[in-house]
Amino acid sequence: MFIIQYQEVNIVITITTNRELAQSVIKAIQDSKISKEELLQKIELTEKEYDILLQKESFSIDDANKILKGINAYVSVTYCYR
């Protein structure tokens, strides 16, 4: 289970793949209403670097947090045992 924290609100999402993690980051960015240009400036990436990062097969929590810091958000992991 992953938790995306944004503006003091925890959004709990069950994510099972790296692609789902990247899609959740994209959704959080869209929901924040920040422009792509402003986001790129805040996270100090070019548009090409940003696109490559999101398309990585092995998109990681570190990658997610690098992008999410642009909207003052982050991902944390909670392990749930069955």
Give the per-residue pLDDT at 52. Answer: 96
Give the per-residue pLDDT at 75. Answer: 86
Contact 64, 22 (CB under 8 A): yes
Comparison of pLDDT for 4 and 49, the residue scoring more: 49
Look at residue 22 and give its three-state secondary structure. Answer: helix
| 23-75: pLDDT as tens digits | 999 999 999 999 999 999 999 999 999 999 999 999 999 999 999 999 998 88
Q: What is the token pair recorded at 47?
A: 């548009």
pTM of the model: 0.80
Give the per-residue pLDDT at 7. Answer: 56
Give the per-residue pLDDT at 8. Answer: 57
